[in-house]
Amino acid sequence: MDKEMNIDNDILIALVEARPVLWDKTLDIFEGTKAAREAWSQTCCELNKVFKEMESKGKNESRTFA
């Protein structure tokens, strides 16, 4: 990415808290990487409204900021 993303930490925390698959190890689905990838994708889309339209390389770079 050419420039750093400015992410509001409070928003990021709220988005992750809303998706227990990302943090709750007691869930059976926690082990499913597909579910976690989807949850991160949803989180990234909410943080960066153009995330769905980005090329794969840009998506991977965006995920490193989350």
Q: What is the pLDDT of residue 18?
A: 95
DSSP 66: -
Query: With a threshold of 0.85, does the pTM exceed it?
Result: no
Q: What is the pLDDT of residue 27?
A: 82
- For residues 32 and 48, give the distance between their C-alpha atoms in angstroms, rounded to a whole number: 24
Q: What is the pLDDT of residue 48?
A: 78
What is the tens place of the pLDDT at every residue in 1-58? 445 667 788 989 999 999 998 898 888 776 667 888 899 889 988 887 766 665 555 5
The domain spans of the chain are 9-65
Helix (H) or strand (E) holding 13: helix 9-17
Residue 64 pLDDT greater than 90, yes or no: no
